[in-house]
A and B are shown apart, each in its own frame.
Chain A
Amino acid sequence: MDEKKAAILGEIPRLRRYARSLLRDRDSADDLVQDCLERALVRLDNWQTGESPRRWLFTIMHHLFIDQMRKVNRRGEVAMLPLEAGEAQAAPAEQVENIASREIIDALQAISPDRRAALVMVAIEGFSYAEAANILGVPAGTLMSRIARGREELRRLLDDTARRRAIRIVEK
């Protein structure tokens, strides 16, 4: 097996984690990783020697994610969703989540995809602002405002959830 393929294999766990934070549902997240790997292999020649495989693969996957989200948005395919939404609603398979994790994963899904990607890229995946801005293809200022807004939105969503939980407890 050549070095390039070995490097790609080594990145799969991180790609799966990023996809899971973008999409939540485990199978959908792995579908996204699969699309990303297929595209990467077709474009193997575009991968410059010396370029970090992580950055290269994350860029491919992010483009797949955002392009598709925009396309769906523009074409108004939301209309056909109720037929398929059942799949997405299903609890993540075989995933043990405690309440705190479930709440923060739900909240993360509720913030806009652009902000979610920026926040996850830096806060979970550990990319620097310069690397993340490069992968997401936005100016550093845009990245920073997305991170700041994303964190603020996440905080408010978690507070709302906590408040609703408190109300439920009082009602019992």
Chain B
Amino acid sequence: MTPRDFSERDIHMTLDGELPGDERVAYDAWLDANPEMKVRSARYVADRAALRAAFAGVLDEPVPARLQKIVFGEAPVKTAALRSRWWLAAAAAAMLAIGGVGGYVAGIDRLGLEDPAEDQLAEQAIAAHVIYAAEKRHAVEVPASDKDHLQTWLSNRVGLKLVAPDLAAEGFQLVGGRLLPAGESKAAMLLYEDDKGERISLFVTAESAEKAKGTYGSEENGPEAVYWLDKGYGCAVVGSLPRAQLTAVAKSAYSQLLAGLAG
């Protein structure tokens, strides 16, 4: 087996008992060689211990009689109107938390409930990439040779002023693009290729209400998405490039897209 590169993802997997046993020795060596990651790992271990300690006492509390009675069928069935309102407390707690940390999570949404928009965008972009980047003859609907038409068409359909970024400096040439469904709206997919045939895609949708950015990979060794969500649009760059290279390409693409949107 060839030794693989480890990343922060493996810190979580190890902590959660999900790292395959035969990778443990190589992982420990990697951790020893990366002091920053070692500190991170130790911190997560400590936070987990604190979390477990904070809730450990609950298991020793006597079970309230009202809960036991339900199982024995002794409690009267409540009507819908009288149903417990625990969720109000949950909502209130979330509001307080948002106020309490000085707006740190204010970017999420009213209740701090994660709208899975980020994951959805990344997953849709990765799914589209997996299907179309593998196509030889039918990868795109409109080829790069018809770039002006491609940009006008996708801009009109998606509802954003789309300018296909020039990624020549990063070694990628536009192959073309296509229109795709994205939830209840539409997305534009732009496909690029380098001289070795390695492909990356840009996935752009209108209508995103939240601000976020990050990277997302759904499968081990599968393509990764670098995405941004902002008021009015979402953008993901997908490819199987090394993380640093993908991030660099994505940054260039994103700044050009932004300039195009504004222009």
**A8-B71, A28-B90, A142-B123 are contacts. A13–B59 as well, Cβ < 8 Å?**
yes
Minimal beta-carbon separation of B242 from chain A (angstroms): 19
Whether a CB of chain B sits under 8 angstroms from the CB of A151 is yes
Given B13, B68, B78, B104, which contacts A157 in the complex, CB threshold below 8 Å? B104
State the CA gap A12–B59 with chains docked (Å): 9
Q: Which residue of B lies closest to A6 (CB)?
A: B71
Nearest A-chain residue to B119, judged by Cβ: A142
Residues of chain A within 8 A (CB-CB) of B43 are: 155
CB proximity of A36 to chain B, nearest CB, Å: 10
* A62 beta carbon closer than 8 Å to chain B: no
Task: State whether B70 touches A87 (Cβ < 8 A).
Answer: no
A104 with B17: CB separation less than 8 A: no
User: Does more than half of chain B's interface fall in helix, strand or loop, or is it mixed?
Assistant: helix
Whether A88 contacts B89 by the Cβ 8 Å rule is yes
The segment from B46-54, B140-148, B163-171, B253-261 that touches chain A is B46-54
CB contacts under 8 Å to A, within B49-66, are 50-55, 57-59, 61, 63-64, 66
Q: Is the CB of B87 within 8 A of A25?
A: no
Complex contact A115–B89 (CB within 8 A): no
One of B67, B93, B94, B101 near A30 (C-beta < 8 A):
B67
A34 CB-CB contact with B under 8 Å: yes
The size bracket of the interface on A is 35 or more
Binds A, one of B107-115, B129-137, B172-180, B187-195: B107-115
Q: Establish whether residues A123 and B51, one from each chain, have CB atoms under 8 Å apart when the complex forms.
A: yes
Interface residues of A in 13-40 (CB under 8 A from B): 13-14, 16-17, 20-25, 27-35, 37-38
Closest Cβ of chain A to B166, distance in Å, is 31
Nearest-neighbour CB distance to chain A for B20, whole angstroms, equals 13
Which residues of B are found within 8 Å of A23, using beta-carbon distances? 86, 89-90, 93
Is B217 located at the chain interface by the 8 A CB criterion?
yes
Kindly state whether residue B30 has any CB partner on chain A within 8 Å. Answer: no
Q: Is the CB of B114 within 8 A of A113?
A: yes
Knowing A68-B87, A109-B93 touch, does A17 contact B70 (C-beta < 8 A)?
A: no
**Chain A: which residue is nearest B16 at the CB level?**
A122
- For B241, the chain A residues whose CB sits under 8 A away are none
> Are A31 and B119 in contact, with the CB atoms below 8 A?
no
Are A35 and B105 touching (Cβ within 8 A)? no
B93 x A16 contact (CB < 8 A): no
Contacts of A111 in B (CB 8 A): 105, 112
| A73-B110 in contact (CB<8A) | yes
Selected contact of A12 from candidates B51, B68, B83, B111, CB within 8 Å: B68
Q: Give CA–CA (A25, B12) in the complex, Å.
A: 29
B58 contact from A20, A28, A31, A151, Cβ within 8 A: A20
Residues of chain B with a CB closer than 8 A to A145's CB: 119, 214, 216
**Chain A residues with Cβ under 8 A from B81's Cβ?**
none
The 8 Å CB contact of B70, one of A41, A70, A115, is A41
Residue A147 lies at the interface, judged by CB distance under 8 Å to chain B: yes
Contact, CB under 8 Å: B97 / A109: yes
A112-B113 contact, Cβ under 8 Å, with A28-B86, A30-B64, A156-B104: yes
User: Is there a chain A Cβ closer than 8 Å to B184's Cβ?
Assistant: no
How close is B141's CB to chain A, nearest CB, in angstroms?
A: 28
Q: B121 within 8 Å of A by Cβ? A: no
Check A123–B112 contact: CB distance below 8 A: no
Docked-complex contact A155 and B44, CB < 8 angstroms? yes
Beyond contacts A25-B89, A100-B53, A160-B104: 4 other A-B pairs, Cβ-Cβ < 8 A, are: A12-B68, A85-B95, A105-B55, A111-B112
Listed by A's residue number, 13 A-B pairs whose Cβ atoms lie within 8 Å are: A16-B63, A20-B58, A34-B84, A72-B90, A72-B111, A84-B88, A97-B54, A110-B112, A124-B52, A141-B216, A144-B13, A160-B101, A160-B102
Q: Considering the complex of A and B, which 4 residue pairs feature the smallest CB-CB distances, nearest first?
A: A141-B218, A31-B84, A112-B114, A110-B97
Query: Which A positions have Cβ atoms within 8 angstroms of B?
Result: 1, 5, 8-9, 12-14, 16-17, 20-25, 27-35, 37-38, 41, 65, 68-73, 76-78, 81, 84-85, 87-89, 95-97, 100-101, 104-106, 108-115, 120, 122-124, 128-129, 139, 141-142, 144-149, 151, 153-158, 160
